[in-house]
Structure 1
């Protein structure tokens, strides 16, 4: 992970990392001093202190892995929990180092060894790794010899720190801190080691833990229940203090409870420490089994509670906010003010999609009366680092951290420069403002950061490229108009500058329809009438309305007959697979591969059967569907439209 960037984010939420940590530590330490909860005299006198420190710390790797499994790592509370765990880890390692120096009879040797290894990692090992990353060509692979050397070096670092009087964990930990995150080096190391660690060594280790647990070692249920109660009180105190800290940040108490549950997540690191204590004869089999049960019980309770209580698609609301947390703020193209600045979020997975996105932005016809602010987001899958990131790209920044950023993500720099160069050197230079971003997150939760940015910047339109591996479903979580651009083999962007969305529009209607669709059909008719009233008589606009009778198969046949010289086809996203009979579904089975994301007609039009796949398709989905679902649950009085927007510099305007 990138230590400097994570610490910079953690300083804003340091109270969540400090106060719950000390609340857990103090409560457990206090209970162990009471005669009722004192440990047996067979244990060393320092064992209560060791257990208090071990159970109070928030292990960053454990919390990160669990949030990733719960699909909450990119959520707002998930980001706060990660930052708080980093602060907790720093405090924990500082305490371990200071206590070891203070209690060690050879404290001078220990301090010298620790500082020497720290200087070696920062001033020798880190520059060497950056040199390897710099010499690796963009998009290329790190040499196998370097990968093997780094893997052996991690093991050697553990042995070296153990020989120097430190713990063998500190060596690999420091090596991971100084390693440059992301591609190409960190991603290559993860790809080469993840398989054997996650699918071979880790299961074997947990099997060893399971075999080491001995339930027959329990001799006194009184001691077992007392220890369980002490741990439970510590976890409850952490949740209560997290709730109070949330109030200091003007958050709702419910969010504080959820954060407390996230910080209580325990896992393999705590079990590993208990295993080491058992190997050193500090605890016996009874205590070890009881502590492992505490970890298992905590994991079994916290994860389901977090998943039940926290809905990441709802933004964090202030406790003094007048709006209810179920309130939805709608920003779509339909309710966007005319002759005003239009904000657009344009997402890109790879460099080949830049041309199509630029053509779409040009087709919006920006003018001085209708300028465009384009938030260009490069979407990258989370690999080679532990924390997701949404970061604005500053191409003019020449600080060392930014130089390393451009080195690790050269594609992001190229994409940002492509957007800026094209719009700055064209006739749209004064009316289009490009603000590039980088979003690193797992594909299944990538929509959290995109939707949050659109919410914060009051963006009414989000355009994402279609990717079969991206199942984040932006269209189901955004309260904005979402367009999915399917552009496989087209020449979008190479057409004349007069290209426009409204070059030709078709409407296919069907006489047989359900009563539930009456409201949507009325809305469609109203939109068509509004379009004709504003564009009728314009020689550059041609409108056709075609009515089809005879069922869904006739609609398919008519659409297939409308193949022509189109620059772009726009279609609404609507899933009506249940209205097809078996014969029709079998005849058009090739069109339903991605119907869940693109809708029935969107999947058909984007297939190679329509214009040989040479025509790009923009599948549009409005946040109105999300509003209708919410109306059924909370009523109409809690829904409103916000017309605020941002200017080209990203500042709020009322």
Structure 2
């Protein structure tokens, strides 16, 4: 988690404020509690396992803060039942006007490279955060960001890939990758998936039920999303015309099988994939992928990359953009998303400013 934050390129113009929330299950008859840790490292020994875990987490993030410029850290501990943990996260995020929540995937990598659920209760917590968050959310599938092959290390080249299919979540994913690309040790590849001619021919071959489920219906909302995609991608490419550390690739695919093949062909060069969750979007480019989905909350592509069967060694950040009911009135997420910025500004300089990240 810390290496992901460091790769997120905190700078003087765009510092990062981190609220670190350690979640502890409430047991016995004690009341729910939120602890704000204000003092630095204490010499007092931990009284129990949970307190020892909190001390370890606090020490790690405070050490990161002390050795990293343009980063501020506020550690907290929330003690509550699993059923209301998402409320602790969302309420604090709203109170602090957090722009982005990062939560760990409920599965962790095993010694043999598989993925094993550590605590299924945290899956429900993550699902509830996705459904109730007051800002954008990222679920981190960590396959070694803390190992010797971590993203951030001196004098090493690190490769990040953004898989772009279109829509608000994918634009938010590219926004995060864009920020990371400004780190001197990061090279970024953006692979955009474009529908092939076969998809247009599906109208003649698919029955009505399949059309309703798969085909990309041209609605006003869909056309608007496509325009936002094109505008955002054009802006991104204009800003990086002469940047050799950034590659943009368009891949034509006709179905989910070809999409999987294209992702597999990228090989093991990437240490991190950033993808949009996709939410309720149904795309012919991912048709069939959800039929064997293990974790639908990750979206079709996120679930694919998180699966043990896909056999990737890369970590994955699955991103969901916050879209509030009042966002058009300025009552949405505390920080403008990149496409909002495109619509309101003529500059081709990427948005800057204080960015708040909330980790659990």
Alpha-carbon spacing, 1:647–1:488, altered in 2? closer, same or farther (3 Å): closer
Q: Which residue of 2 aligns with 1:566?
A: 270
Q: Which residue of 1 aligns with 2:141?
A: 486
Alignment of 1:133-172 (within 5 A): none
Q: Deviations over 1:456-509 (max 9, x none)?
A: 111111111111521122122112111100114564636534646442221113
Deviation of 1:602 after TM superposition, in Å, equals 0.5
Alignment of 1:352-431 (within 5 A): 357-396=1-40, 409-425=51-67, 428=68, 430-431=69-70
1:459, 1:638 → 2: CA distance? Answer: 15
Retained in 1: the 8 A contact 2:268–2:314? no
**1:543 aligned onto 2:228:** no
CA RMSD of aligned residues (A): 3.4
**1:615 aligned onto 2:310:** no
Q: Which residue of 2 aligns with 1:450?
A: 89
SS at match of 2:35: strand
Highest CA radius of gyration, 1 or 2?
A: 1
Q: Deviations over 1:523-582 (max 9, x none)?
A: 22222122112222112222222222x22322222222222310210000024697689x
Matched residue pairs, number? 273
Alpha-carbon spacing, 1:422–1:404, altered in 2? closer, same or farther (3 Å): closer
Q: Which residue of 2 aligns with 1:214?
A: none
Retained in 2: the 8 A contact 1:395–1:413? no
Q: Which residue of 1 aligns with 2:306?
A: 606
Retained in 2: the 8 A contact 1:457–1:646? no
Deviation of 1:439 after TM superposition, in Å, equals 1.6
Retained in 1: the 8 A contact 2:6–2:152? no
Q: Deviations over 1:180-227 (max 9, x none)?
A: xxxxxxxxxxxxxxxxxxxxxxxxxxxxxxxxxxxxxxxxxxxxxxxx
- Structure 1 portions without partners, runs of 5+: 1-356, 649-654
Larger RCO (alpha carbons 8 Å, 6+ apart): 2
2:242, 2:283 → 1: CA distance? Answer: 38
SS at match of 1:409: helix
Alignment of 1:489-638 (within 5 A): 491=147, 493=150, 495-497=152-154, 499=158, 501-502=180-181, 503-511=188-196, 512=199, 513-516=216-219, 517-548=222-253, 550-575=254-279, 584=288, 589=292, 592-595=293-296, 597-610=297-310, 612-624=311-323, 627=324, 630=325
SS at match of 1:521: helix
1:535, 1:406 → 2: CA distance? Answer: 51
- Which is strand-richer, 1 or 2? 2
Retained in 2: the 8 A contact 1:481–1:623? yes
- Structure 2 portions without partners, runs of 5+: 107-116, 161-179, 182-187, 200-215, 337-352
1:521, 1:577 → 2: CA distance? Answer: 13
- What's the TM-score, normalizing by structure 1? 0.38
Retained in 2: the 8 A contact 1:475–1:622? no
1:518, 1:412 → 2: CA distance? Answer: 48
Alpha-carbon spacing, 1:554–1:387, altered in 2? closer, same or farther (3 Å): same
Alignment of 1:9-408 (within 5 A): 357-396=1-40
